[in-house]
Structures are given as structure tokens and as C-alpha cells.
Structure 1
Amino acid sequence: MQAQVPARWALAVGAVQSVLMLGARWVVAQAFFLSGLTKVRDWDSTLALFQDEYAVPLLDPHVAAVLGTGGELLLPALLLLGLGGRFAAAGLFVLNGVAVLSLSEVAPAALAQHQLWGALLLGIWFWGPGRLSLDALWPRRLTRSA
């Protein structure tokens, strides 16, 4: 027999969860977006990194640089807004994994940071971006107009 959770507790937990999911989205989006801006600011260095340092398999270094930088700029914006939140989280999870795997050496502190981002992105992918997101508003608008 399951114990019933009082409605006020369920509302409180839901509110806290929504704020925590927004915080997780903010932390990850900020890190990746700032990385993308850094790459755009010095495109010659970015191209050199993708040619000499990053070992991205199956892609031309120039194509990898464009795709990686574009992903680091577009996906964080979607993630922060919670628009296509699960899609954005999955895309950033892949970018995060490629970043770790493509470097020959990763400092322990950097690896820990990538692991944190990966864990936050998995949480967003599994549970969605939360109530404080455009994804949460979207179905409500569709059902109201029907």
C-alpha cells in the first residue's frame, strides 16, 4: 500500500524541481555558449585547433569547426529557453563527449567539469527541461486552441 503525498508537498517539490532544472540548463548553456563565442572571436585559432589538436573522426577539420561552433551557439540558446529541451540536451551531450574524446590529454579539473555537464545534460534529457521552459508551455497552448 502506497502512502499518499499531501498535495502541498507535491507542489513544493515540483516548484523546487523546476528551479533546479532551470539552474542546470543555465549552467550548461552558459559554458557551451561562451565556448562558442570564443571560437567565433578567433576563427583562425579555432580552425588551427580543429586541424592540429582535436581529432574529430570522419569529418574534415573545417566542417567539424563549423558544426561544433554552430552547435555551441545554437543548442545552448534552445536549452536555456527550454525549446526543444531534450533535443538540445542530447546534442550538447554529444558535443561534450566529442570534446572529451577528441583531446589527447584532458586535465583532471576539466574532465570533472565535463562529467558534471554530462550528468546535468542526462538529467535534462531524461526528465525534460522542467516547468519553467517553453516546452512546458507549448502543449498547453495547443490544447487551449483545440
Structure 2
Amino acid sequence: MIPWMSRFNAALAQIPHDLIAVVGRIAIGTVFWRSAMTKIDGLALKPSTFYLFENDYRLPLIPPEAAAYLATATELTMPLLIWSGLLTRVAASVLLAMTLVIEIFVYPNAFDTHGVWAVTLLYLMKFGPGRYSLDHLLGETLYGSRLPLGR
């Protein structure tokens, strides 16, 4: 291998998982939180939220009103878990499922955006939230042992 390329690759290998996990948690949580903020007014869903689920999103197998509440509740709670690093892998799995529903049924031509979300969520599912998380802090108490921190 070219010497400078070898040094460059070695330098990149030093990027800590904990840094990648924190940046990923902040970024992906923010995507879903901001979406939730567009759906609510105080403690209530906006009329426009119901309109979107009835007329634009039109998910199969679930009534629009239920879908509106379920999606908003998910977008409000899962980012909090991801940001705090509590049940991170579970929260990332829920958001990945939501991302797949959005990609398949709502915006099927937005794979460029949803693919980036999916990669971030898959990273957190595989490698976990890192040391700067409640999962790590509470690991022995909640799970009986420390969770794997990734590579």
C-alpha cells in the first residue's frame, strides 16, 4: 500500500466508537424529534397532522387517526431514549422499523435520506450507544453485565 495511505488509514482507525455513537445519537434523534415538533401544538396533535395521515401518508392496515398518534408518540419518545442512551438498541430498532414504513409506504423515492437514517440506526443497533450513555452507566444494574461497547 502507498505509505501515506497506510498512515491515513491508521489515523482514521483511531476515531473512537464513543464519538461516532454520540454524534449518531444526537443526529438521528434530532431528525425524528423535529418531525414530531411539526405534528404537535402544545399537548395536542395539529389538525394538519390528521390531514396528512388521512390524505397524504395513507398507511395500509392502520386507521389514519391511530397512525397519527402512534407516529407522533414514537417520534417524541424514541429520540429521548436515543439521546440519553437508554435502551438505545431497542429505540434504534423501533425507529428503523418506522423508517422502513416511511420509505415503503409514504415516500418511496427518498431512499437517499432514509438510507442515511437506516445506516445510523443500524450502527447504533450493532455497536450500541457507547460509554457516554445510560445503557453503559446502568449496564450491570439493568442487564446483569456491561453491554458490549462495540469495536
Same fold (TM over 0.5): yes
One-letter identity of the residue aligned with 2:115: Q
> Judging changes above 3 Å, is the alpha-carbon distance between structure 1 residues 43 and 84 closer, same or farther for their aligned structure 2 residues?
same
Question: Within 1, Cα distance between the matches of 2:26 and 2:115?
Answer: 16
Aligned to 1:67: 70
Detail structure 1 runs of 4+ shifted over 3 Å in the superposition: 140-143
State whether structure 2 residue 124 is matched by structure 1 residue 93.
no
Over 3 Å counting, the alpha-carbon distance change for 1:24 and 1:104 in structure 2 is closer
String of CA shifts for 1:109-143, please: whole Å, max 9, x gaps. Answer: x4312110111101101111111110001124577
Q: Deviations over 1:14-55 (max 9, x none)?
A: x71101101001110001001001111361111011001112
1:1-146 superposed matches below 5 A: 13=14, 16-41=16-41, 43-103=46-106, 106=109, 110-140=110-140
- Please give the TM-score of this superposition, normalised by the length of structure 2: 0.78
Q: Would the aligned equivalents of 2:78 and 2:91 in 1 still touch at CA under 8 Å?
A: yes
Q: Normalized against structure 1, the TM-score is what?
A: 0.80
Of all paired residues, the percent bearing the same amino acid is: 34
Higher alpha-carbon deviation: 80-89 or 38-47: 38-47
Higher helix share: 1
Larger relative contact order (CA 8 Å, sep ≥ 6): 1
Residue deviations 1:45-68 (CA, integer Å, cap 9, x gap): 110110011121211100000000
Q: Residue 7 of structure 1 aligns with which residue?
A: none
- Partners of 2:107 and 2:70 in 1: CA distance: 20
2:134 maps to a residue whose letter is L
Write out per-residue CA displacement over residues 61-97 of structure 1, whole angstroms, 9 at most, x where no aligned residue.
Answer: 0000000000001001100110000010001101111
- Give the unaligned 5+ runs of structure 1: 1-11
Query: Which deviates the most, 121-130 or 33-42?
Result: 33-42
Residues in 2 aligned to 1:141 and 1:65: alpha-carbon distance in whole angstroms: 36
- Mapped partners of 1:88, 1:105: distance in 2: 23
The equivalent of 1:3 in structure 2 is: none
